[in-house]
Amino acid sequence: MAKKGQKFKKYPSEIKYQVVKLFIEENLPKKTIASLLGIPPDRVRLWIKNYLLYGDAERKRGKPKKESFEEEMERLRAENAYLKLLMEKILEEGNSKKKIEVINELKERFSLELLCKISGISKSTYYRAMKRKDKDEKLKEEIKDIYFKYKGIYGYRRITMVLNRKGRKINHKKVYRLMKEMGLYARIRKKNHIRKLTLDAQYIADNKLKRNFKSKRPFEKFVSDITQIKTIDGKLYLIIIQDLYNNEIIEYSIGENNNLELVNNTIKRWLKSGKYRKGGILHTDRGFQYTHVLTAKILKEKGIIQSMSRKGVPQDNGPAESFFSHLKEEVVRINGEKTKEEYKKLIEEYIRFYNEERYQARLKNMAPVEYRNHVV
């Protein structure tokens, strides 16, 4: 809440609509926009809110009350007292970084020797810090390039993986610190409240997987699930089959109807590809397609053992739910309203990216396909 007599910095219209453009078209987080443009986060939130609610980022809520002479003098005394105390605290704490920032601001007006003497640091310390800063600037540019290349999907851990793969031996803590300085934040997945329609089941299997999502060999343990994606001209349904050995999506289908045919055609293609072992486990939820006797028959003929989640416990199928959560955040939320055909292409490209380029710490900083080929 604004204080009595508080004055606000005025921003031109171009800045306000640049903020809106970065949020809507580039899908950047509000904190990142605020940091990149050097604008207080509350201003960024207000302009975006005004644009979304009223179609005008410049909507005003009234003018601040004009200060009286006494109020202005009181404010100036408070500002002076605050700055004096702040300077004393900085000097007490020996914060070299802050001191160097102040020196850089004032070195055009005063000699470097005098500023170093006042701040209590040596010139050699100053030059050493500036050399380190120049080195970090190059690294910051690399981090920004990776961040924007992947549209904010990669956080500091995956950006560290990319840098290390390029031969840069960088600690993840340093990447985290530099990203925080630049205001670059990875997209945070929203929690999905899963509600699924369960019809009368014809066949129920026990939970044989029991959340043991690790597999020692390829094509031994699998999970499968279906998700819905809303588009401008209707709904799409995506079914995946994921190998728990390397998290690779080894088969998938995109259809306009959530029916038995969608599931069974996908399972048949998977079995035809030969990417399974006799006695392997396929874990699913209790959706009507997976509990159908026809599905059970197809799997039994190939020696595949069915495993099913407990009723109302989606965590039992965690890897598939996690993949869909990433997909919704990194494809649907970024791209917004699209047609069915546009989303089909986007989903196909994302699955290719996930299998071939999305590095995972569990896979020794490799992508799923790369890990499988490396081990082989």
CATH for 365: 3.30.420.10
Structural domain contains residue 30? yes
Asked if residue 42 belongs to a domain, the reply is yes
Instruction: Sort strands 305-308 and 281-284 into parallel, antiparallel or unpaired.
Output: parallel
Total structural domains within the chain: 3
Dig out the tokens for 153 from the structure: 């999907």
- Asked if 240 and 224 count as a contact pair (C-beta separation under 8 A), the reply is yes
172/313 same-domain check: no
| Residues 270 and 369 both lie in one domain | yes
Beta partners for residue 240, in sequence order:
225, 252
222, 239 contact by CB (below 8 A): no
Is 161 in the same domain as 256?
no
Cα–Cα distance, 177 to 1 (Å, whole number): 30
Q: Is 7 part of any domain?
A: no
Closest among 90, 16, 89, 11 to 49, alpha carbons compared: 16
Q: Among 289, 295, 292, which residue's Cα sits nearest to residue 226?
A: 289
Is the residue at 108 inside a domain?
A: yes
**Domain match, 367 and 242 both:** yes
354 with 263, same domain: the answer is yes
Q: Indicate whether 201 belongs to any domain.
A: no
Range of the domain at 36: 13-54
pTM (two decimals) = 0.62
Can you tell me the distance from the alpha carbon of 374 to that of 170, in angstroms, rounded to the nearest whole number? 23
Examine the domain organization and report whether 21 and 166 are in the same domain.
no
Is 320 inside any structural domain? yes
Which among 234, 207, 193 is positioned nearest to 290, based on CA atoms? Answer: 207
Residue 99 and residue 44 share a domain:
no
- Pair 43, 117 in one domain: no
In terms of Cβ atoms closer than 10 Å to its own Cβ (0-12, 13-18, 19+), residue 234 is: exposed
φ and ψ at residue 306, rounded to 5 degrees = -85, 140
Query: Tokens standing for 260?
Result: 């038995």
Q: Is residue 161 part of a domain?
A: yes
> 284 - beta bridge partners?
308
Distance CA 137, CA 159 (A): 16
Contact, 249 vs 267, CB < 8 A? no
Quick one: which of 352, 349, 348 has its CA closest to 368? 352
Task: Give every residue of the chain whose pLDDT is below 50, as ranges.
Answer: 1, 193-195, 197
Question: Do both 97 and 157 map to the same domain?
Answer: yes
Q: Which two tokens stand for residue 174?
A: 């340093």
Residue 215 covered by a domain: no
- Whether the CB-CB separation of 331 and 344 falls below 8 Å is answered with no
Structural tokens at position 193: 């409240």
Percent helix, strand, coil in the chain, to 5, is 55, 10, 35
Residue pair 78/91 in contact by the 8 Å Cβ criterion: no
- Percentage of residues of the chain with pLDDT beyond 90: 36
Answer yes or no: do 166 and 268 share one domain: no
Q: Are strands 281-284 and 248-255 parallel, antiparallel or unpaired?
A: unpaired
Q: Are residues 166 and 280 in the same domain?
A: no
DSSP code string of 27-68: ---HHHHHHHHT--HHHHHHHHHHHHHHS-TT----PPPPPP
- Rounded to an integer, what distance in angstroms lies between the CA atom of residue 248 and that of residue 373? 12
**What is the pLDDT at residue 1?**
47
- Distance in angstroms (rounded) separating the CA atoms of residues 183 and 189: 18
Q: What gap in Å lies between CA 7 and CA 18, rounded to an integer? A: 23
Report pLDDT for 167. Answer: 82
242 vs 275: CA distance, rounded Å: 11
Phi, psi of 362 (to 5 degrees): -65, -25
273 Cβ contact partners less than 8 Å away, ≥ 6 residues apart: 250, 251
pLDDT of residue 341: 94
Whether 315 and 371 map to the same domain: the answer is: yes
N-to-C CA span, the chain: 61
Dist. CA 76–CA 128, nearest whole Å: 37
